[in-house]
Chains A and B, each alone.
Chain A
């Protein structure tokens, strides 16, 4: 099938997409957008989190066909050319990045949280990010990063 979708405000087309492909596979292997990660591919780890028409989804659980004519935002679409988003800056400043494999998904999920709730409590942060596994940090500095980002303007 032919797939048309918008990713990070740019139109994309992909030909000969197999029906069994996930949106994650399309993003990574067909469009070369490697930022969304493939840690479990069954919706448990959140590493592949993207926004689809503004809704936070695991792109590994979205069939390619479901993304037809949708607007996708991936980690590469946050921030502007040459400038990180406040969430990305906060993750760096807090030391919330170690191996970094979970980071793109956490950054996207944090962006989504703060857009809906600009001043979350710690429990709200924990609930919102409970679908994103991190194996390196123990989450303490991720919490620091989200608290810091919540204090910034223009999320």
Chain B
């Protein structure tokens, strides 16, 4: 049966003329299919005899399920099956870290949109009608929607085990330290959506061995497979996953969405089953960025030196755990920012509520904290009457500094340098016609418009932290081809759009000196590559490919020594050949003619430690990634509209493996931070999502985004392969606070919530003086 399905995407072959190695702007191997519409995304899959899946979802944020009646739905011609939790043959719950979420709701639903039943039908329209025909009788219950309330011992419970997912405690230095200058603040961050464009989708095909083949867009094939196999009650080798084309991810594809449902339906119907979420369903189908409430107290000497930071953070995890534990660990360990602070006291909480489940999104706990601590730094600078950039530089972490966890920062940490770079970048001029706040709506020609400039710097841990055994598996082979040796790289690491497949080939070219490289499609025929998340995949895959290539080279040297009859230590690596003593040489083609060299390695970054549960002390992180932003904004103070005029970024990337792709990551990350600053929030009222569409949940358009200048530093991390530093997340972290700081500078308003709302900006109280912008004409 699988022979009739859309064949899994072929590996991307990169021509023998392509000599782009690491550090060069190698073109994307998937670029031509993508611009010509021929790249198969997960929503473009098709198989003979295919039927369509659809999901019955809860309309209530919290309710007891009294009954589920599928009779009427099953009577509709073309409906193949309706499955409930009773049809889940294996483990009935799943989860990224803890299996706390029912595959299909059992006796209670805990958030609006929770899956209750799944359906397979001949076509999407029949499936939609069958969804409407499933009769679920609910007894609505009062939802727990306030995470602060969820902490109270008397609160209603979302889960019987208790609703504190994690309480992270960090204690360093003197808990009661005092300082001559103290500022306090309370900040809130709204629930942001990853809003990738390619909807959740996939195709499951039942196999003759009783297993299933699943093509799906995901960030981590093997963690999906673990959860799918457990739910199906199958051994993992009978669940085979292949990465389908991924239309963006940004964290939202780290958790299982439709993977288990698709496989259940395929095994029940004996037919290939396709599912594609609509945009509305996508808002309910994946986790979001945690909304958070953060209280900070900063104390400093009069010269600006930080004496203490105390913080209490409450993150709303929603109905199920997802990655909340790790998000809280990041918020807690990174919570004072890239600064040296001798006395730190942090309490960070992740809570269960009946709100939408929250988990991974680009920046992962660091985003919320940075919005708050950077606002505090500006507040402190104002209180001290000193320049906010100077204050940051005065306290900037550098190589050799101690984190609040006690961990030594043992690679470059150019915090002050990044701030200097963005401050010295050229400033924009007055806006051109048509670029005022309100844009093409022509709501102002400069009247009521004030300009402001803001700065922020932030950082993010790279890789999985707190003792996680994190590894990437890669197979590298060198074999004879018609035009010379061909290298093959096979790895389960997921290409999401970031350009991993390009970099994989660049590394193989540089290490093996061959132009012809095939990057196989990611699948579960090789071991786990870990997640394409946490800014880790280029770092990890680079380490793994480098090591595998070294093993390939060792074997080739041994073969050459044997062929040339000379000792192996007399062999040298040349251009497409191996040189022996006395001018002897043998080409790679000759060496692999006898058979391919094929090496698989499992590569780990240096180990990290769990932190002490009472003090948060420990070597929790592998590496840090730093970025700084300067934002210049024009604010229409009458309408509360903001136009970002220019945003400049400086970031240290250790080594730019593909400089063009690095800049692309920084542009995209900065823009998602702009979205959080100005427009993006999932509105949840009493557990109900009010805006699950691109009409009501706005993401930045090309009119919202200003020119973005990027300065890239390459200060090698001596502990990382090629010195590389994870790139993807850092630019998302500091762009939000920089933009809000600029709006504060323009308006004098405190602005403690993101996204900023027009009503927060207008009706201003005491204004600080800001320089009005000269009219353009």
A→B interface (CB under 8 Å): 18, 20, 28, 32-42, 44-45, 47, 74-76, 78-79, 84, 88, 91-92, 95, 97-104, 107, 123, 125-127, 129-143
Contact = CB atoms under 8 A, between A and B. Distances in A.
Interface in B701-715: 701-703, 705, 707-708
B36 A76 contact: yes
Interface stretch (B9-17, B191-199, B405-413, B764-772): B191-199
A97 B28 CA distance: 8
Contact of B702 (A91, A136, A139): A139
Given A100-B247, A100-B497, A123-B434, A138 B668 contact: yes
Contact of B694 (A28, A44, A134): A44
Contacts of A130: 440, 701-703
A102 B246 CA distance: 12
A107 B33 CA distance: 13
A154 B196 CA distance: 34
Contacts of A18: 125
A34 B203 CA distance: 15
Contacts, number: 168
B84 interface: no
Contacts of A102: 197
A139 B702 CA distance: 6
A47 B197 contact: yes
B359 interface: no
A135 B35 contact: no
A107 B699 CA distance: 20
Interface stretch (B37-45, B99-107, B596-604): B37-45
B428 to A, nearest CB: 13
B23 to A, nearest CB: 15
B36 A79 contact: yes
A95 B664 contact: yes
A36 B197 CA distance: 13
Nearest to B661: A95
Contacts of B435: 123
B695 to A, nearest CB: 6
Contacts of A74: 37
A20 B250 CA distance: 33
A95 B705 CA distance: 18
A141 B37 contact: no
A133 B703 contact: no
B34 A97 contact: yes
B34 A103 contact: yes
A135 B694 contact: no
Interface residues of B, number: 61
B660 A20 contact: no
B350 interface: no
A38 B43 contact: yes
B753 interface: no
B35 A92 contact: yes
30 contacts: A34-B37, A37-B41, A37-B247, A42-B695, A44-B694, A45-B197, A74-B37, A79-B36, A88-B35, A92-B27, A92-B32, A92-B35, A95-B661, A95-B663, A98-B664, A99-B196, A100-B39, A100-B247, A127-B703, A130-B440, A130-B701, A130-B703, A131-B701, A132-B701, A133-B197, A134-B197, A135-B196, A140-B667, A141-B664, A141-B667
B693 A137 contact: no
A121 to B, nearest CB: 9
Contact of B699 (A91, A123, A133): A133
A138 B699 CA distance: 11
Contacts of A76: 36-38
A142 B496 contact: no
Interface centre among B194, B197, B703 (most CB of A within 10 A): B197
B668 A35 contact: no
Contacts of A103: 34-35
B41 A104 contact: no
A136 B699 CA distance: 11
B188 interface: no
B699 A127 contact: no
A88 to B, nearest CB: 4
Interface string B33-66: 0111111110110100000000000000000000
B497 A98 contact: yes
Contact of A140 (B44, B497, B498, B708): B708
A40 B703 contact: no
B694 A126 contact: no
Interface centre among B31, B279, B699 (most CB of A within 10 A): B31
Contacts of B30: 100
Contacts of B35: 75, 84, 88, 91-92, 97, 100, 103-104, 107
B195 A126 contact: no
A52 B612 CA distance: 64
B671 A97 contact: no
A123 B41 CA distance: 32
Interface of B: 25, 27-28, 30-32, 34-41, 43-44, 46, 125, 194-199, 245-248, 250, 276, 278-279, 432, 434-435, 440, 496-499, 660-661, 663-664, 667-672, 693-695, 699-703, 705, 707-708
Interface centre among A20, A137, A142 (most CB of B within 10 A): A137
Contact of B246 (A33, A99, A131, A139): A99
A19 B125 CA distance: 11
Nearest to B710: A140
A37 to B, nearest CB: 7
A37 B196 CA distance: 13
A137 B31 contact: no
A135 B250 contact: yes
- A-B interface, 10 closest residue pairs, ranked by CB to CB distance from nearest: A35-B37, A99-B497, A100-B34, A101-B247, A138-B667, A138-B671, A75-B37, A44-B694, A98-B497, A34-B44
Contacts of A132: 701-702
Contact of B496 (A20, A44, A99, A125): A99
Contacts of B25: 95
Contact of B705 (A78, A88, A138): A138
Contact of A135 (B34, B38, B197, B702): B197
Nearest to A139: B702
A29 B388 CA distance: 56
Given A92-B27, A130-B701, A140-B667, 12 more contacts: A35-B36, A37-B41, A88-B35, A100-B30, A127-B703, A130-B440, A135-B668, A136-B664, A137-B668, A138-B700, A139-B671, A143-B702
Given A39-B279, A97-B31, A132-B702, A137 B664 contact: yes
A101 to B, nearest CB: 3
B667 to A, nearest CB: 3
Nearest to B496: A99
A39 B693 contact: no
Contacts of B695: 42, 44
A99 B199 CA distance: 12
Contacts of B664: 95, 98, 136-137, 141
A141 B497 CA distance: 14
Nearest to B440: A127
A87 to B, nearest CB: 8
A138 B709 CA distance: 12
Contacts of A78: 36
A131 B31 CA distance: 23
A137 B667 contact: yes
Contacts of B36: 35, 75-76, 78-79, 84, 88
A143 B703 CA distance: 11
B276 A38 contact: yes
Contact of A98 (B38, B499, B703): B499
A99 B39 CA distance: 10
Nearest to A127: B440
Contacts of B32: 84, 92
A78 B37 CA distance: 10
Contacts of A28: 44
B606 to A, nearest CB: 30
A99 B32 CA distance: 12
A33 B46 CA distance: 12
Given A95-B664, A133-B694, A137-B664, A37 B197 contact: yes
